[in-house]
Structure 1
């Protein structure tokens, strides 16, 4: 069912609907007609119940249990977010905290992680930051023998990052050939990305210009393949603050929380969702079952792309939490965080 325009609701229905949504987002509990009658509405409980029933028939509200009050559906939340929400800008203290964590210095990935943690703490959700896959440029490559059939490949990037991987050794690989392979890769491939390095090695070997014996050639190919394939399938997604998803209201619905945490473990799917948010300039809000990824957990994602030099999108920042999160407060917070990261990347 598509959400109807908020202008099609009467003033009375709009007021009651807004109060139900505000109450639900504040404490995670359905809101009953008695609570609404005590909130200053100049209507009898019977009249309020009539309006609540009408809103339920429109698909905007639902009653989880008999006589338990009403709560907004995903369609109702979409109507509220798009047509009724009054955003609350981050306070000076909140802005300062985000800016301080983002500008703390150190490697870019560390700054992104601390920013995600700050956003998580302020929003009471899990903070998310996704950046494009890092195309490391090589500075040095070496091999350390671990066993007759295994070695550790050590890669040092131009940015100083060091990573290790265990690779299988071809039959007949001697210690001198191991050293020769590392020296060849460092001398020939320094300054190249992994993709460029693989292409260079294949061309050198095909043209007979690679001064390596057969075993060393096989090791060079194997080492580059391991690095390249690992980098290609690794989503660069930083998640901080998963523990904040388990609050007092969530204890009564642990199955939903378990589903949400499972969603976060499936980083590739989350990364694809955030990647779709990178296509535009505005903040994207994914509510509950609007996205099949969250059909079970009933979660919402608020995400916004941030840009680097030349206006190119370099990443997406956002939060994930229950559908009852405080959209009016969190949406501007995500917007400000995206702007802060854009300045950091500029």
Structure 2
């Protein structure tokens, strides 16, 4: 069924539908005709309101969750509201200041790893929106400063990668047979001296060329370790985007406590970071904010969740990531959408 245009709703239907949505956003509970008569300020009897609600229900915009007389907006109804009726509420001066302060201490390129700025973004946005905050950089183009190997046992070592932004990551790798401590040092020295300032993809290409041309002065074990170490880092980086989630606890409020199964489903969705990352990645195209509501996305069919996401740009105007929030479908779209927009603009300044 195609979405009913807002223009086809009568003024009376729009007013009543707005009350249903506002009540749902405020408390998550179904609202009945008597309550609407009290809240709307319309000179209509409950019977007249019930007639309009029946029309809205037949259009698929509202529904009854059980046998009570109360109604809730459907995902379809929320989409109509967001696209055609919502009046955005710009962040207040206090909210903008809180967000700026939250991000200001972790300026990208100003002495802290990228992850610190991303984590600060998610935490600040979560606190202001009362949702879980999401920030994703789909592919980390890590530039290497140094790589070293620390022996753990006869057949294992820890590869320690230090990036130019100051971040440090460790991976345990298997050692080739006959590996000595001096070969570990040799491999680390070669990688740090040869690959500094390169991304992992660039480093692999250079090593492949130097090994193929015989220009890498490495013995057999050190050569194997260099190839194995770069393979581990490159495969891991390509497989996992940088995705940070903060504020999951904010998803459990008084209304959610009555629907713990839905909350568990939502938290399970957040654990599946690959799927969330794929959803955010779909928001990278263009400049507009994307809103995914409930069962419109198969991932949220059980949890009844919504995601608001917007891409942000870095140096040269290139899209470098996506920032957003995830919460129940009853989140306050009019307030949260502009907040996500402001966060994307703030993070773009930090990335620039």
TM tier relative to shorter chain: over 0.9
Residue 18 of structure 2 is aligned to residue 12 of structure 1:
no
- CA apart distance, 1:208: 2.0
2:276 to 270, 290, 312: 270
Q: What secondary structure does 2:140 align onto?
A: coil
Aligned equivalents of 1:343 and 1:139: distance in 2? 25
Residue 239 of structure 2 is aligned to residue 238 of structure 1:
no
- CA apart distance, 1:139: 2.0
Instruction: State the match for 1:108 in structure 2.
Output: 114
Aligned equivalents of 2:144 and 2:88: distance in 1? 46
Aligned partners of 2:138 and 2:281 also within 8 Å: no
Report the TM-score when normalising by structure 1: 0.97
Residue 83 of structure 2 is aligned to residue 82 of structure 1:
yes
Q: What secondary structure does 2:227 align onto?
A: helix
Residue 191 of structure 2 is aligned to residue 190 of structure 1:
no
Aligned partners of 1:21 and 1:71 also within 8 Å: yes
Instruction: State the match for 1:294 in structure 2.
Output: 300
Q: What secondary structure does 1:147 align onto?
A: coil
After TM superposition, list the pairs within 5 Å mapping 1:125-164 onto structure 2.
125-164=131-170
Instruction: State the match for 1:218 in structure 2.
Output: 224
Aligned equivalents of 2:222 and 2:315: distance in 1? 41
Aligned equivalents of 1:16 and 1:103: distance in 2? 43
Aligned equivalents of 1:252 and 1:191: distance in 2? 53
Q: For residues 94-138 of structure 1, what are the alpha-carbon distances to aligned partners after superposition, in whole Å with 9 as ceiling and x for unaligned?
A: 000011111113333212211211111111110111113221222
Aligned equivalents of 2:25 and 2:324: distance in 1? 19
Q: For residues 136-185 of structure 1, what are the alpha-carbon distances to aligned partners after superposition, in whole Å with 9 as ceiling and x for unaligned?
A: 22222221211111111122222222222111111111222222222222
Q: For residues 248-294 of structure 1, what are the alpha-carbon distances to aligned partners after superposition, in whole Å with 9 as ceiling and x for unaligned?
A: 00011111111111111111111111111110111111111111111
Report the TM-score when normalising by structure 2: 0.95
Aligned partners of 1:31 and 1:69 also within 8 Å: yes
Aligned equivalents of 1:11 and 1:184: distance in 2? 73
Q: What secondary structure does 1:277 align onto?
A: coil
- CA apart distance, 1:209: 2.1
Q: What secondary structure does 1:173 align onto?
A: coil
Aligned residues between the structures: 346
Residue 174 of structure 2 is aligned to residue 173 of structure 1:
no
Aligned equivalents of 1:330 and 1:57: distance in 2? 29
Aligned equivalents of 1:192 and 1:310: distance in 2? 20
Q: What secondary structure does 1:87 align onto?
A: coil
Instruction: State the match for 1:261 in structure 2.
Output: 267
- CA apart distance, 1:187: 2.2
Residue 327 of structure 2 is aligned to residue 321 of structure 1:
yes
Aligned partners of 1:2 and 1:75 also within 8 Å: no
Residue 28 of structure 2 is aligned to residue 36 of structure 1:
no
Aligned partners of 1:136 and 1:157 also within 8 Å: yes
The ranges of structure 1 where at least 4 consecutive aligned residues each deviate by more than 4 angstroms after the TM superposition are: none
Q: Which shows bigger deviation, 333-342 or 150-159?
A: 150-159
Aligned equivalents of 1:329 and 1:156: distance in 2? 40
Q: Which shows bigger deviation, 43-52 or 99-108?
A: 99-108
Aligned equivalents of 2:183 and 2:351: distance in 1? 42
Instruction: State the match for 1:67 in structure 2.
Output: 68
Give the alignment's Cα RMSD to 1 decimal: 1.3
Aligned equivalents of 1:311 and 1:160: distance in 2? 24
Aligned equivalents of 2:342 and 2:120: distance in 1? 15
Residue 304 of structure 2 is aligned to residue 303 of structure 1:
no
